[in-house]
A and B are shown apart, each in its own frame.
Chain A
Amino acid sequence: MKSPPFEYARAASIDEACALLAQHGDAAKLLAGGQSLVPMMAMRLLRPAWLVDINEIAALKDIAVDERGARTAACARQVDIERDTALAARVPLLGRALAWVGHVQTRNRGTVGGSLAHADPSAELPLVAQLLGAKMRLRSARGTRSVEADAFFGGPMTTTLAPDECLEVIEWPAWPERRLGCAFVETAARHGDFAMASAAAQIGLDADGRCTRVALGLGGVGMTPLAFPALTARLVGSRPTPADLDDLARDAAAQTEPNDDLHASSEYRRHLARVLAARALRAALEDAEREK
């Protein structure tokens, strides 16, 4: 057996999961899809005394979509989000990002909340949350609170979740623009592997082709997924040229401080950030321009 010993509890409700977390505190971890947690247990990077399994809680599987956006309960499987056409119409960036997340077998099991709570800075869903300003509802026996993505991510594998808190629901805002385009691109050794760098962009246009809103995000090149609201604001009201998009990509990449590791040097990651940001921005603009 690869994992260290632990006690197992299958929670039947969110209240029960929260009660178990309140009881065991730091000694307990929530087990969602397990696609990151179980490998970390197998490598003995984690040794929780308790695993609280939240896979059988029906209320944590809900996906609801309206004109304001999508609300995905934390244990909704990635595959269910991928297949939800109503969600794809309102928050298309989620589906574009999921195409890069792992493989069929891991998306069948992996959850949206698990990916966010794991907070790998190179992961796709945290980048989408950061770029769109998703709101997380956190629940504990003490009550509930809402946290914006920016405040949720604290660093690599680190979030604002307290040991007794459970991520319950994620609200993904929809943009109202009819002419909306988005794109997600990344570079990895093999499709589905950890990204060396990734970029996401979303652009809204008015009838004249002027930007009403622009968002750009970069993953894998900082301690958390990064968004650049101060830089993207300068495109609002303009019809951006390819050179404008390249300039924005260059300025965003210049603000990153990627790590060196076995897979890529810091310098190479910053290069990827610039190239991928430019590609994502161009693809998002083309996508928006296709909507007449």
Chain B
Amino acid sequence: MSEALYPITVEVNGVQRTAQVPARLSLVDWLRDELRLTGTHVGCEHGVCGACSILLDGEAVRACLMYAVQADAHRVTTVEGLAAPDGGLSVLQDSFCEAHGLQCGYCTSGMLVAAQALLDANPRPSDDEIRAAIGGNLCRCTGYQQIVEAIRLAAERLQEKRA
């Protein structure tokens, strides 16, 4: 079928990407299927699980609840954009390994993005604030405790780094 295509230019992880997309293509499908940025996961596809969380202009949003065409002229950061330029793990990512903040890994990219948005806005979050920040992300493995510990550990390590 011949659906109309719409031109978009989106800054993704610091790189300008242009594409022609059908209106109904979700942002997460564009990131994964067209740009091959498969770190962002697709869970429920209707805004419940949080696996597809990305940063849009620095704020955490669900990439399954936006159409790619809406991201035109905006800035997107995916989990791939959290790592160091050489691919090395960020302090936050390393803290998830250290504290066993993941098991199967399906929710992890969404958790990392949600945690990154929290730490960007609030470098010293309380446990309640950490729980609120990941309240929209489902994890079926960890029981959440280690994820909270991982984010707390990352906050402490980032504090030390700044000091």
Kindly identify which residue among A2, A3, A103 contacts B136, using a CB–CB cutoff of 8 Å: A103
Contacts of B66 in A (CB 8 A): 34, 38, 109
Answer yes or no: A7 CB below 8 A from chain B CBs.
Answer: yes
Contact check, A192 vs B59: say whether CB atoms are below 8 A apart: no
Give the distance in Å from the alpha carbon of A42 to the alpha carbon of B26 in the complex. Answer: 10
Contact check, A105 vs B136: say whether CB atoms are below 8 A apart: yes
Classify chain B's interface size: 35 or more
Within 8 A of B (CB), among A100-126: 102-106, 108-109
Answer yes or no: A130 CB below 8 A from chain B CBs.
Answer: no
Answer yes or no: B147 CB below 8 A from chain A CBs.
Answer: no
Number of A-B contacts (CB under 8 A): 95
Contact check, B26 vs A3: say whether CB atoms are below 8 A apart: yes
Interface on chain A toward B: helix, strand, loop, or mixed SS? loop
> Mask for A80-111, Cβ within 8 A of B = 1, else 0?
00000000000000000000001111101100
Kindly identify which residue among B4, B22, B70 contacts A55, using a CB–CB cutoff of 8 Å: B70
- Given A3-B26, A6-B23, A42-B45: A104 touches B67 (CB 8 Å cut-off): no
Interface on chain B toward A: helix, strand, loop, or mixed SS? mixed
> What is the chain B residue whose CB lies nearest that of A1?
B24
Kindly identify which residue among A5, A10, A103 contacts B22, using a CB–CB cutoff of 8 Å: A5
Answer yes or no: B97 CB below 8 A from chain A CBs.
Answer: no
Contact check, A109 vs B65: say whether CB atoms are below 8 A apart: yes
Give the distance in Å from the alpha carbon of A1 to the alpha carbon of B3 in the complex. Answer: 12
Contact check, A79 vs B47: say whether CB atoms are below 8 A apart: no
Contact check, B136 vs A108: say whether CB atoms are below 8 A apart: no
> What is the chain A residue whose CB lies nearest that of B57?
A108
Contact check, A6 vs B24: say whether CB atoms are below 8 A apart: yes
Residues in A lying within 8 Å of B, measured CB to CB? 1-8, 10, 31, 34-35, 38-39, 41-43, 51, 53, 55, 79, 102-106, 108-109, 190-192
